[in-house]
Each structure stands twice: as structure tokens, then as C-alpha cells.
Structure 1
Amino acid sequence: MRKLLLILILCPSLSFAQFSETINSDRPGQANGASTLGKNVFQIQSGYNLNTVKNGFSDMQNTNINNFFRFGLLERVELSALVNYASVKTKGRQSESSLSDFNDLQLGARFFLVENKGIIPALAVQSSVLLKLPNSLFPREKMGSNTIVATTNQISEWLSFNSNWIFLQEGNAPLHTSYVANISFTISERIGTFIEMYGAISNYFTTSFDAGFSYLINNDFQIDASAGIQDNSYTDTDYFIDLGISWRTNWRK
């Protein structure tokens, strides 16, 4: 009972509606939004990412098919699952190799904690468990965790600033921290665009950049495209293109 009272005190507006008339996707880009779907809403966010990395010794082409499943358990609480399938092709001076398999499985939940009021940003936390992949060609022998603290400031009707602070723990490896700083623009009722900077914080600071746009087909279906240049401190070239769709259905009525 005390725990329940504490939750009600800390989250007095837990039952306030989070549902929006148009789909609210984390795609495109690296940043997660500081929002939840609303109760009884199911959403799929899928993307195809092609990443090219070149250095003086080898060329690498990484392909990722990413699927993020979200379900609104309550207005401010949602459950999620991430499934990622990767293909890696490497071409060296005297050899070539190719691997394809699942490289990431996660189960998690997102909690919307604070509404955006003036200079106070909206705040949400996404916490996920990294599942083992012992039989994958990209093995993960031990479970891990990934926590994302997301904020959103709606500066005007057409401009918003989003930030993510990411804490990744894989097995016994040291905690890896990273960031995303995203500026999003609404061009019209159907078109949105963004530009963002992201990278690592722990051990060394890196900067990567990407930008893209989204197009709303209808209130429940969105397509997107983006491209970026990643930190090339240890490579000659590192860039990617990304295409995706987001779709939702709801049982609110």
C-alpha cells in the first residue's frame, strides 16, 4: 500500500491521456521521444539501415533490419520489444566474409513521468533488458540492460528540442554512456524533418550527425528516410542511409 501511495504521489497525473490524433513515432533518427502511446494502442516501427565503413585495410557493409514493437498498457506506461537482424559483409585485401543473424533482442517498458510546461521539459524513461543470444553468429553470452532518459521541449508549434541520455550495460562490460541532441521541425501537417548530433560520452567523446524527414500517409501510418555521417576517428569513411515505416492500431473505442 505504501508503494502504491508513493507512486500516486510521484505521478499524480498517471491517468491523463497520452494518445495523439496522429501517430507519434520514434522514427526517424536516433532519439526516442519523451512520450507514450496511450492505453490500448499497438504500434510497429520498422527500418532498413545500410551502413558503409571504409579504412585502409578493409571495406565493411552493415545491413540492419530493425523492428520495434510498442503497446500502451496504461496512458503513461507502455511495453516494448526490439528485434534486430543484421548482415555484415567484410572485404579485405586478400579475403572476404559474410555473416547474417539476429544481433539484438530486447524487452522493455517506457514510463512517461513529467509533462512539458514552459522551460520544464517532458520526461520519460525507457528501460530494457538485453536478452542472451548464445546461438547467434553475433553472440551475447550474458544479459544486459539499456536505460534511456528522454526529454522533449516543445518550443513552438513547429519546433521542438529532444535529448536522450543512454546507459548501456552489456554483461560484465563497463557501463557505456551516450547522448542524442535532436532538433525537429514541422514543415506541414504531413511533413516533418529533423537534424541531430549523437555519440559516446564514456571513455571518449564522439560526435556523429544525421538528418531526415517523415511523411504522414494518414493518421496511423508514416514513412521516413534519413542519412548520416558517423564519427570517423578510426575509419576513413563511415556513413549510412535509413528507410522506415511506422504503423499503429488502437482499441480505445
Structure 2
Amino acid sequence: MSPKSILLLVSFFLLGVLANAQYTEKINSNRPGTSQGAFSVGNNVLQLEGGFGFGKEKHKILDTKTNVFNFDYSVRYGLLIEQLEIRLNGRYRADGVTQTIGANQQKINRSNFEINTIGAKYLIYDPYKRPKENDSLNYEKLKSWKEHYKFRWKTLIPAVSAYAGVNFIASDNPFTFPGDASISPKFVIAAQNNWTTNYGGDWAFVTNLIVDKVTTDNPAFGLILTATHTINETWAGFIEYEVQKSDFYSDNIMRLGGAYLFDQDLQFDANIAFNFKDTPSIFTCSFGASYRFDWHKKDEIIEQPGLEGGVKDKEEDEEELEGEEGLEGELEEGEEENDSIKPRKTSFINDFEDDSFRDEMEQDLDQRRTDERLERERIEQEKVDKKQGKKFKKEEARRLKREAKEARAAEKAALKAEKEKAKMIEDIDAELDKMEEDKGVDQELEDLDKQLKELEKMENDLNAEEQKEKEVEKKEVEKAEEVDVDAEYDKYQKEQEKKKKDEEKRRKKEDKKRLKEEKKRKKEESKRKAQGKKDKKKEQESDDSEIEKELEKFDI
């Protein structure tokens, strides 16, 4: 492999490594820690960060137990330039304090904003922005394994930013000292080191020096140290140590946790926090997320330290300014910018005299951007085709559904017609059956007469039997007159039996009478139906005769 090929591969490797910059392709969140990074979110980028936590606090001296719930939030926006960021952050807290007084327990509920601050952060110093001449890479050093992997003291120089903000708190806030000012200043110096190791992944170390409420009677000072390690493309872990010092409250807090990168604009995180004292002791668990709205339009390449602008000196700076003015003049005359990296704005190693290497890198970058653009166009076209395909399938499904509905309606109409036809045939058959049944009406009337005669005979028999019983009773009465008092009881029993028999005879007589009346009614109804059928038959015969006459007229 030629030296130029080796150098090209190494350069592309260095270009792909994560480095310091303002805007990044993936979200850059301050969560799950509480420290501020030195870099902003990027120009025209809105980022929302928030989470909720719950835990317990115990105060050994005051003998109190507190259940804590808090919600913290942060709104960050890159304004005007890459280095400037404005932010609003705060924390809302609600807790319940249980205090033991003697043998009684008292619970106090409190809620308010613990922190509410608005301010701006500006990147003061970026150590990788314009490297010196002796910091550039050369081919001889790239050939050496020792030179490539050795530790560089220059990476200990951090990027530094300054934050200035204003605190806003409500009056009678239970989480601040009494008489605290409603408006007070806050200042933060943030330093950040980013290291990329070949075997250990990416590391970031953030230091915050905090001076808060310096214009009040109880100023606060703080120090936050945060170390973050990127495990892979989606997972990262962190450890943080915070020191708080003021006359109102002082503490040392340790935080441990991790974050999961769902996509380039969304991150989820979780952490636990605890301290090392018992006045009070603290233990909390927190869960949160970060999301950004990326309206960053300027296309930038995030470069590896040492390659951001090539090796520059004063003369080259002057030439670069002249070249940029000439390039702007050419663009104003009508030439369009292409996607390639522009001269004097792209980082290259300027120590090589052979321009072919520079051309190859530019061509390769142009090709990569063209491929990315074509891939984006292909994906967009696939989305359009998929959408049109779904629309066509939907219309086809509607058409098939409409046709099926029409077919079902036609089938129902045909079934209805068949049922009506079958009903007409059944009605005609029923009429014919009735006409045949009319022939047996006379026989039915004769049977009814016989039954009536039998009922009359049964009635006469009952009357004769009743007459006999009366005669027997009369005789018994005559005999009873001759019987003494001892026979009165037997007489009473006989009278009771007689009453029962009389009641039974009366009931039988009423049943027979009712049956007789029912038979008469049925006979009259049968006669009336028979007469109606005869009349109907005569009408039908007259109609048939009229139809035959009409047909004869037509035949004539």
C-alpha cells in the first residue's frame, strides 16, 4: 500500500472520530447530571430536557422523615451564533415532612419552585478551533505506532464557557432561607475535556464552578465534577460529585446513572443520588428525557482536533481572507454553491506539496455527499411510492366493497322475489284445500246433531234419576219422623251426603248445558262458513264465466 493511501485512510479515520464542536448530528444533553457542558446546542436548535424524581430524606437531629417528589426542567436554544446559548432551567419540589414531637407525629406538606433561573452561556475558548503549526499531523508521525497512540498533554486543556443568569423565587418559599431576595444573580464557569481512546471508547469530563446569590445575605458556592463514558452508539454511563457550600445549607452529593440514545434527537436517562451525612441523609431516584427540535440549516463537518482549519500562520490567514472575498464575489455573479467542501473552509493538512492528495479527498467527500443526497432522494421517493400504493389499495378495497354490497343487494332482491312466488303458490294450494274440505261440512253437521241428541238423552236420564231420589228422600223423611232422638245424628249425616250429591248433580247438569251450547255455536259457525264458501265459489264461477266470455270475444 502506498504512503498516500495509508495517509488517506488515517485521515478519514480521524475525520470520523467524535470531536468538539457546537452543533452535532446527535443530541448533546446535560442530563442525567446537573452540570453544564461548555458547548451549546448549536445555532437555531431548541432542546427540551426534563425529568421527575422521588426519594426520602431523614434528619437524625430533628428526627424528621421526608418523602420527596421533584420535577426538573431545562429549555435551551442556540441564538444567533454557534457559541451562544440561552437557557431556562428550574426544579419544582413537593414533599411531606413527618416530625415526631413527644408521643405525637405531625406531618407538614410543602410545595414550591426550588430553583428557577434564566440566563445565557457563551463559549469563551475552544482549544481545537485554530491549532498551532506544530500541532498538525504529518506523514512521518502517522507511520509510528508510538506517536499515534501516545498521550498528548494538549488534550488536558479544556474548552471553557461562562454562564450568567438571574434567579427568580416566590416570597415565603419554604425551600430557601427566610428573607431571601426574589431576584438574585448566578454565575457559572464550565470547563469540558473530551477524550477519544482506541480501546476505551469516548470520555467527557466536565467541571462547573458556581457562584450563586452573591448579592444576598447568604451567598452559595458550588463545585460539580462529572465524568461521562460512551459505552457504545446508544448507551452511556456517568458519575458525578457535587459540593454545595453556604450558611443556609451545605452538602456533598454523589450521582450515578446512564442514558439511552433512542434516535439522533431523543434521549432517555435515569440516575440515583445520595449523600454522606445524616443531617439530613438523602436518597433519590430520577428518570428523564431530552428532545431537540433541529432547525440547524448550515451544513457543517465536525472535525478532529488538529484538522479544523489546517496549519495556519499570519500570512496564510491573510491569503485565506483574500480567497474568501474572491469566492464571495464569484458567487454573487451567479455561480451556485455545490455540496462539496469549499476552499479555505475545509480542514486539510497543508504540509504536503502534492495537490493530488487534496483533490482526492475533495472528490471523495463530494462523492460521499452526492451518495447521501441520492440516498435521501431514494428514500423520499420510496415514501411517496408507498403512500401512493396505500392510496391505490385503499381505493381498490373500497371498489371491491362497493361491488360486493351491490351483489348482496341483488341476491337479496332475487331471494325476495322467489319467496313471494312461493307464497303465491302456497296461497293457491291453501284455497284448493279449503274447497275440498267444504265437501265434508254436511257430515260434520250430522255429527253435531247426533251429539246434541245424546246430550238431550243424558239430560232426560238425569231428570228421571233426580225424581227417583226425591221420592226416596220423601220416604226417608216419613221414616225419620218415627225415629227417636238418638237417630238425629244419622239424619244429619245423610243430609250432608244429600247436599254433596245435589251439588254434584247441579255441576254435571251445568257442564252438559254448557257443552250443548258450545255444540250449537260450532254448528252455526260451520253453517255460516259453508254458506260463505258457497257464495265465494259462486262469485268465482261467475268471474270465470265472464273471463271465458271475454276470451271468446277475443277469439272471434
For the superposition of Structure 1 and Structure 2, which TM-score range results when normalised by the shorter chain?
A: 0.7 to 0.9
CA apart distance, 1:233 = 4.9
CA apart distance, 1:141 = 4.1
Q: Does 1:180 align with 2:191?
A: no
Question: Do the aligned partners of 1:143 and 1:171 also contact (CA within 8 Å) in 2?
Answer: no
Partner of 2:392: none
Question: Do the aligned partners of 2:66 and 2:95 also contact (CA within 8 Å) in 1?
Answer: yes
Alignment of 1:118-197 (within 5 A): 118-134=155-171, 141-157=181-197, 158-169=202-213, 172-197=216-241
What SS does the aligned partner of 1:62 have?
strand
Question: Do the aligned partners of 2:113 and 2:169 also contact (CA within 8 Å) in 1?
Answer: no
Partner of 2:352: none
Matching residue within 87, 90, 96 for 1:80: 87
CA apart distance, 1:247 = 0.3
Partner of 1:96: 107
CA distance in 2, matches of 1:137, 1:197: 26
Q: Greater helix share, 1 or 2? A: 2
Bigger Rg, which one: 2
Please identify, of 166-175 and 95-104, the stretch whose mean Cα deviation from structure 2 is larger.
166-175
Q: Does 1:60 align with 2:97?
A: no
CA distance in 1, matches of 2:250, 2:166: 25
**Structure 2 segments unaligned to the other structure (5+ residues):** 1-19, 129-154, 298-556
Partner of 2:120: 109
Normalising by the residue count of structure 2, what TM-score does the alignment of the two structures yield? 0.40
* Percent identity between the two aligned chains: 25
Partner of 1:71: 77
Per-residue CA shift, 1:164-202, capped at 9, x if unaligned? 111111662232111011111100011110112111255
Q: Does 1:207 align with 2:252?
A: yes
CA distance in 2, matches of 1:103, 1:202: 16
CA distance in 2, matches of 1:228, 1:75: 33
* Gap change, CA 1:201 and 1:135, over 3 Å in 2: closer
Please identify, of 185-194 and 142-151, the stretch whose mean Cα deviation from structure 2 is larger.
142-151
Please identify, of 22-31 and 53-62, the stretch whose mean Cα deviation from structure 2 is larger.
53-62
Question: Do the aligned partners of 2:58 and 2:278 also contact (CA within 8 Å) in 1?
Answer: no
Per-residue CA shift, 1:212-252, capped at 9, x if unaligned? 000000000000000021231523x3111111100001222
CA apart distance, 1:30 = 2.2
* Gap change, CA 1:153 and 1:17, over 3 Å in 2: closer
CA apart distance, 1:72 = 0.5
Give, as a single letter, the amino acid of the residue that structure 1 aligns with 2:263: N
Question: Do the aligned partners of 2:58 and 2:279 also contact (CA within 8 Å) in 1?
Answer: no
CA distance in 1, matches of 2:173, 2:244: 26
CA distance in 2, matches of 1:137, 1:234: 17
